[in-house]
């Protein structure tokens, strides 16, 4: 499939090293410059929040005699907003108990499962399920990505392929 380039003399080796170095620098530069706007946005947000935090810290605390007793307000019966949850059991090898454990971790949607760090998820879930490996979690995340994008046909074909592999 892949062949390893073996330079025949020292000048070929130097050219090979220079080309490899240029490739690495270009890859680094592309990654850096494609994320620089995100970094700027984060720095602006951090600066804004630090400014607001400092402004709140500089405000004098209210003195007890200045605080007026508020009349007691009885809560009205407002409809509670329901937290949106996806049916995580549609993902291959996630049963109802695993879904409940994921919900306790704050993972309620396909997108949250897709974006959760697989190593952290393995660490939390492996204390209760000894046979869970990182590969299975990554497969969960691949399925969650398809489900979050509403690619149900691709999801079912991936699950069929997983079933075929498990039968072998």
Distances (CA, A) of 126 to 12, 67, 92, 123, 132: 50, 51, 18, 5, 6
Q: How far apart are alpha carbons 58 and 114 in whole angstroms?
A: 41
For the chain, the distance separating the N- and C-terminal CA atoms, rounded to the nearest angstrom, is 25
Confidence at residue 8, expressed as pLDDT on a 0 to 100 scale: 77
Does the pTM surpass 0.85? The reply is no
Locate the domains of the chain by residue range.
7-55, 88-167
> Does 25 score more than 70 pLDDT?
yes
pLDDT (tens digit per residue) in 101-154: 888 888 899 999 999 888 888 888 876 656 678 888 899 999 999 999 999 999
DSSP codes, 36-74:
HHHHHHHHHHHHHHHHHHHHHHHSPPPPGGGPPPPPPPP
């Amino acid at each position: 499939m892949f062949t390893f380039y073996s330079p025949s003399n020292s000048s070929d080796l130097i050219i090979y090293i220079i080309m490899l170095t240029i490739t690495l620098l270009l890859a680094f530069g592309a990654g850096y410059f494609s994320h620089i706007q995100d970094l700027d946005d984060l720095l602006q947000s951090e600066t804004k929040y630090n400014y607001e935090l400092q402004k709140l810290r500089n405000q004098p605390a209210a003195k007890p005699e200045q605080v007026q007793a508020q009349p007691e307000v009885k809560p009205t019966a407002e409809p509670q907003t329901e937290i949106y949850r996806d049916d995580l059991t549609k993902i291959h090898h996630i049963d109802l108990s695993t879904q409940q454990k994921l919900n306790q971790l704050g993972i309620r949607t396909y997108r949250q499962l897709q974006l959760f760090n697989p190593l952290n998820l393995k660490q939390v879930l492996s204390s209760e399920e000894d046979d869970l490996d990182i590969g299975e979690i990554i497969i969960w995340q691949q399925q969650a990505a398809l489900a979050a994008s509403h690619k149900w046909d691709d999801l079912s074909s991936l699950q069929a392929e997983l079933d075929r592999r498990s039968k072998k």
